[in-house]
Amino acid sequence: MQGCEITSSPVPVLALIWLRAGCQEEEEEEEEEEEEEEEMKEEEMKEEEMKEEEMKEEEEEEEEEEEEEEEEEEEEEKEEGCYTVHNFLIHLLYTV
């Protein structure tokens, strides 16, 4: 019957309390680490999204620049064509 009376000595009770407190601290630390990992993952995802958005914007800007260059080239070709027609007409007027 003496083995059944654990509460008669304060040492085992204190040891159990100490162990429980240690386990709780470990659990809290693990939870904090998990939360930090989740936050890091969220930040990485946000950074990736920002990079993707920047890449899309750059691509759009490049496309716009290419379109503008093409339009300018077309205008230049039209102007050159007009000058050659104009010069040809002047040449005809003077030769006739």
DSSP for 29-94 reads HHHHHHHHHHHHHHHHHHHHHHHHHHHHHHHHHHHHHHHHHHHHHHHHHHHHHHHHHHHHHHHHHH
Residue 48 maps to a domain: yes
The answer, as to whether pTM is greater than 0.85, is no
Per-residue tokens: 21: 């407190």
Residue 81 is predicted with a pLDDT of: 66
Residue 50 maps to a domain: yes
Residue 1 is predicted with a pLDDT of: 43
pLDDT band at 73; cut points 50, 70, 90: confident
In order of 61, 62, 64, 76, 85, the CA distances from 71 in angstroms are 15, 14, 10, 9, 21
Residue 11 is predicted with a pLDDT of: 61
Residue 1 maps to a domain: no
Residue 58 maps to a domain: yes
CA–CA distance, 93 with 95 (Å, rounded to integer): 6
Average pLDDT, the chain: 81
What range does the domain containing 56 cover? 9-95
Residue 2 maps to a domain: no
37 pLDDT more than 50:
yes
Residue 55 is predicted with a pLDDT of: 96
The structural domain count of the chain equals 1
Residue 82 maps to a domain: yes
Residue 26 maps to a domain: yes
